[in-house]
């Protein structure tokens, strides 16, 4: 399984690779890809596929979570989680075998975070073109609340 997050903020896309720890927890792993909000859907799809390719299984589980969100905040150019969450629409992405699943979310604010809208998930084959995946991203983004 491969996993990534696509977050759309006012002026940018933030794309994160997710990896699984030895304790089974999925978390952001590595650098963030930041693209302008007006990037072509195929460009966002290409960056998403690169993020999925960087997924790792069995990374060490953090012993200290202090500052874990700081690289994300730095990538977004904000100082707090509340500022990050404000006006953000998030899509959870998983790839298993030949299927990519884009799950829109509902933004419940800084305290509750993002909730999955699983019944509105969009499936595309992993062999889809960047343009086809980009169209699926736009569709999933439109379903975010």
Instruction: Show the tokens assigned to 80.
Output: 């707090």
pLDDT at 71 (0 to 100): 95
What are residue 136's phi and psi, to 5 degrees?
Answer: -65, -40
User: Which range marks the domain in which residue 74 is found?
Assistant: 2-143
Q: Are 6 and 15 in contact (CB under 8 A)?
A: yes
Note the pLDDT tens digit of each residue in 98-109: 999 999 999 999
Q: What is the mean pLDDT of the chain?
A: 96
Region 35-41: what's the mean pLDDT? 97
Note the pLDDT tens digit of each residue in 54-64: 999 999 999 99
Residue linked to tokens 């933004």: 107
Helix (H, G, I), strand (E, B) or coil at 60: coil
Number of domains present in the structure of the chain: 1
Write the CATH number for 93: 3.40.1590.10
| pTM for this prediction | 0.95
Region 90-95: what's the mean pLDDT? 98
User: Is residue 30 predicted with pLDDT exceeding 90?
Assistant: no
């Amino acid at each position: 399984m491969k996993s990534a997050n696509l977050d759309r903020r006012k002026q940018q896309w933030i794309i994160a690779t997710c990896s699984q720890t030895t304790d089974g927890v999925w978390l952001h792993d590595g650098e963030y890809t930041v693209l302008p909000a007006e990037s072509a859907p195929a460009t966002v799809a290409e960056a998403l596929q690169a993020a999925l390719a960087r997924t790792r299984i069995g990374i060490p589980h953090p012993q200290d979570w202090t500052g874990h969100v700081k690289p994300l905040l730095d990538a977004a150019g904000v100082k707090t989680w509340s500022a990050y969450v404000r006006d953000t629409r998030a899509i959870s992405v998983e790839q298993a075998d030949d299927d990519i699943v884009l799950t829109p979310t509902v933004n419940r604010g800084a305290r509750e975070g993002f909730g999955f809208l699983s019944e509105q998930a969009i499936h595309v084959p992993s062999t889809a073109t960047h343009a086809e995946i980009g169209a699926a991203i736009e569709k999933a983004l439109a379903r975010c609340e």
